[in-house]
Chain A
Amino acid sequence: MSVDSPPRFVLASPESEFYWRSGADGRLRIQRCGECSRWVHPPGPACPFCHSRRVGPEPVAGTGTVATYTINHKEWIPGFTPPYVFAFVELDEDPTVRIGTNIVDCEIDEVEIGMRVEVLFEPSGEWHVPLFRPAEAERGGGT
């Protein structure tokens, strides 16, 4: 399946702007605490665990696992042509970092809970929207 550049309606906050810009260099970044090293998502003004204000974006591998998903058969927003997959992906660095996304570059019926996925980015205006596709090993690609 592919999501053919639907309207992305990104409304970033000062805390989240880095997340939506991160893909400019091809890397996904997640907020991390400079004191206790915990990953924080969605990003906020302080670490919710130790309350340190020393939080900032840090690159992650961009790989994870599909925790769950839905196949939308309704065009919830004009331009999102059904069917399309909305999924929650749990990142390898910390499975409590759960990211909403579309799963692309595969058939819809290939998507399943537990599927290994990797990030890619779709440029949308000033933003780089993180999407996920089956990990290279699952796609059977690579050498």
Chain B
Amino acid sequence: MGERMERRAVISGAAQSDIGRRLHRTGIDLTVEAALRAVEDAGLTTADIDGVSTYPGFGGSFGGAMGAELHEALRLSLNWRSAGVETAGPLGAVHNAILAVATGLARHVLVFRTVVEGSGGPLRPGSGGGGGGGMAGSAGPFQFMIPYGAASAACWVACYARRHMHDYGTTRTQLGAIAVNGRANAAANPKAIYTDPMTIDDYLAVRMVSDPLCLYDCDVPCDGSTAVVVSHRDHAPDAPAGAVGVNAMGTAIRGRPSWDQFDDLTSMMMRHTAASMWERTELTVDDVDTAQLYDGFSWLTLAWIEAMGFCGKGESGAFVEGGVNIGPDGSVPLNTSGGQLSAGRLHGFGHLHEAVMQLRGTANIQVSGCEVVAVGAGGGPETGCLLLTKGPS
């Protein structure tokens, strides 16, 4: 296997702002809080930061804050800045930062993802809520769903969930294991939104949203910012909290880039994205000590579990049922900080932050001997992933 450029990079710092339902703070305020903490965590000062990368690169409740806003707010001096929504999902901002460091365009890139959806207004056509990234009101592909009242990703994901149930016998009780596992883990996370205990019976009794998805299958909008510093691996010995290695990244978007026209109604783009990650590493799925897999909707986690190869196609329901395999002592501890269903919709960056904590050995629910973590974020055609290691890869 030839050189993998991503291995020239490490994650040297990681931090979060306060996280809550209605903080009534601006996106840039939360971003600055997370960014300054991450820079300090990396053993750096803002003078060392020479790159900024974010997703999606616009403000509002979904966008949070622009890269230029952070640039200006901290008066950074940058050699490179990037933001965009047409990435391999939200982790595309991390992929871009890794590439900038690997190619020498920047040495320390501040990466952030901020959301203020907990304080946002009600969902309207064109408001960009949930997977649309602001495209819902355009004449683009969403024009074929909006006229039918399918204004949320909940409606689209529900269609995939139902077909998965139809083809593979997946049950709501199995789907509920994702939500119950997340809630149990959130109890140990002081920043989690929902920490009250939840049983599978609670899950089955709650109201439907877009059948077969119920309220607890949908993540909880919140306000918060996550920031990480991606540095050249040379900095690893000087990262006081410990540097996390980038072993491989998954970026492939080989199928149709569409929420509604993907060729398989029982999987999504993560099928290709995860495959491309495994093509870039000598590690295998058996090496993964914990998985932090996107749960914007619980069914997306099932799709990620299958895409990553923790079980076979169509077998994720049986794999998660009862929660044993995915619990803290299971074969693949999953979403150990509570995921988005209970800890808050940080759009994949909560999963990334938790992966860093696990590899440093400082997680609230620590997986013992954790050396390899798989992180996957996004749904529909907007998916990306990372394979991270304890220390440089």
Contact = CB atoms under 8 A, between A and B. Distances in A.
What is the interface residue range for chain B against chain A?
35 or more
A13 B143 contact: yes
B143 A16 contact: yes
A70 B260 contact: no
A100 B208 contact: no
B24 interface: no
B139 A80 contact: no
Contacts of B137: 9, 11
A86 B150 contact: yes
Nearest to A98: B261
A68 B149 contact: no
A102 interface: yes
Contacts of B324: none
A106 interface: no
B210 to A, nearest CB: 4
A113 B125 contact: no
A6 interface: yes
B210 A71 contact: yes
Interface in A73-107: 73-74, 76-77, 80, 83-84, 86-88, 96, 98-102
Interface string B226-260: 00000000000000000000000000000000001
A3 to B, nearest CB: 8
A68 B139 CA distance: 24
A94 B95 CA distance: 38
A11 B146 contact: yes
Nearest to B214: A73
B265 A8 contact: no
Given A42-B261, A74-B210, A98-B261, A11 B155 contact: no
B383 to A, nearest CB: 20
A97 to B, nearest CB: 9
Contact of B147 (A9, A42, A84): A9
A55 interface: no
B209 interface: yes
B322 to A, nearest CB: 26
A68 B166 contact: yes
Contacts of A13: 139-140, 143
B210 A70 contact: yes
B147 A8 contact: yes
A29 to B, nearest CB: 14
B5 interface: no
A119 interface: no
Contacts of A69: 159, 162
Contact of A9 (B125, B141, B158, B163): B125
Contacts of B166: 68, 113
Interface of A: 3, 6, 8-13, 16, 41-42, 67-74, 76-77, 80, 83-84, 86-88, 96, 98-102, 113, 124, 129
Interface of B: 123-125, 137-141, 143-152, 154-155, 158-160, 162-163, 166, 207-213, 260-261, 263, 265
A-B complex: 4 closest residue pairs judged by Cβ atoms: A80-B149, A70-B158, A71-B211, A68-B163
